[in-house]
Chains A and B, each alone.
Chain A
């Protein structure tokens, strides 16, 4: 049984000439899998994520999440945006409980969970802060806490740490690993950073651009749970070299 199932998926944007963003994409993601979509800009990795999220609709092909065709965005697929996309007029707490609130859930049902998730991402002392008062890394923590509170079993992450400085990025990667270890959601993580893809995921789909295609599927040989030490291991370097060679052969 597969959590996310993509078959022969194509996305073409109309224009003169039409732009083929995604060309015959096949993807099977089992529940609890941590998948990275790795590729240069313009390879359609964000488009693929937007399609799975339901923000855009495919031109042709099959796209199912938990055996159901994706027709619209929904709380079963939580999205973490590149720039966090928090509501700037709401506090951290109000942002985190936005989902359960608009769904009309009683307070008792989500309050405890929201508090727990805010603690997991380490923001218990910032609940009444506005997003503008937080650093970029902290805003992404809120972005993660809100979809965990939402209870999404599938997390779609669109280069969430791309805009952060190196130290903050590492902290956030470790945080994400511990969250995944604890809750085992299915994660699709879009990135153009090879190290990030290897460090975080179980399976890496390397994509190529124009038209956007999946070039190869690689399994990361690193054991879990992972630590920063893994990034200095031989297996890590070997995998990085393998990916670098793959990318060079197609774009050289």
Chain B
């Protein structure tokens, strides 16, 4: 019974995408349309050989190189994002918790934050060169702001009576931070992680277009230059899928860790 309802909802959500894809296939196959956008079937064909074909002697970079490029981009996101979380969460907690640290860091973060990560590109290339670390720097930066700002907010919003209760029971300042402020801020931290991860994927694509010579972002721009729009589209869908999967991983961890929160909102 329940699965039928789910199935119906799923089908309903697929109606418009299906119509669009069919229309696209039909109009794309019409005479005179070739060369503007490849049809969905051509995209699938190009994607298939990008994934599965044997690499040709370096003449065609779109044979069998899909997985390697997915790995390049994912590794960069994993590194930059992990770094952002490792710095952003503790710093955010401390900023939200201590007036001293807030006064030291908050003005700096708030004044740097409005600079879009894309504006950091020339800076990043000048400092780090056309190397992985430049890309990781941008990913870090993109994830960092969202994580630190949300964590700070979470730490500031801790119920005053929970803090009082902990002090009343003899908790030290450190215990208060780790046993009360951190768990209380967890929901905000996860919000920050999810937003930050999304921005990290934006950052990896932008940086690979300009600052390194591999990854989904590099292929995206390169394929456009050589007129392989089928690869461009396949690449776009791949980026979307990777972003979706990584977001689901965070949501999965969140559901495991914040059972109390989920029960609260039902």
Contact = CB atoms under 8 A, between A and B. Distances in A.
A53 B183 contact: no
B164 A102 contact: no
B170 A132 contact: no
Contact of B260 (A83, A99, A132): A132
Contact of B170 (A81, A88, A99): A99
Interface string B150-189: 0000000001011011111111100100011001101000
A228 interface: no
Interface stretch (A17-25, A70-78, A182-190, A216-224): A70-78
A102 B170 contact: yes
- For this complex, into which size category does the number of interface residues on chain B fall? 20 to 34
A150 B169 contact: yes
Nearest to B171: A102
A13 interface: no
B75 to A, nearest CB: 33
B20 interface: no
A179 interface: no
Contacts of A78: 168
B264 A102 contact: no
Q: Binding site of B, secondary structure by majority: helix, strand, loop or mixed?
A: helix
Contacts of B162: 85, 87
B263 A132 contact: yes
B161 A88 contact: no
Contacts of A132: 260, 263-264
B168 A74 contact: yes
A119 to B, nearest CB: 20
A88 B258 CA distance: 10
Contacts of A98: 166, 169, 179
Interface string A66-95: 000000111101110101011111000000
A39 to B, nearest CB: 21
Interface string A107-142: 000000000000000000000001111000000000
Nearest to B183: A89
B264 A73 contact: no
B169 A99 contact: yes
Nearest to A56: B164
Contacts of A103: 169-170
Interface in B176-214: 179-180, 183-184, 186
Contacts of A77: 168
Contacts of A54: 167
B170 A75 contact: yes
B259 interface: yes
Contact of B161 (A74, A83, A131, A147): A83
Contacts of A88: 260-261, 264
B263 A130 contact: yes
A45 interface: no
A146 interface: yes
B169 A85 contact: no
A53 to B, nearest CB: 7
Interface of B: 159, 161-162, 164-172, 175, 179-180, 183-184, 186, 258-261, 263-264
13 contacts: A77-B168, A79-B164, A85-B161, A85-B165, A89-B183, A98-B166, A99-B169, A102-B169, A102-B171, A102-B172, A130-B259, A132-B260, A150-B169
Q: Which 6 A-B pairs have the closest CB atoms?
A: A99-B169, A85-B161, A73-B167, A102-B171, A73-B168, A85-B165
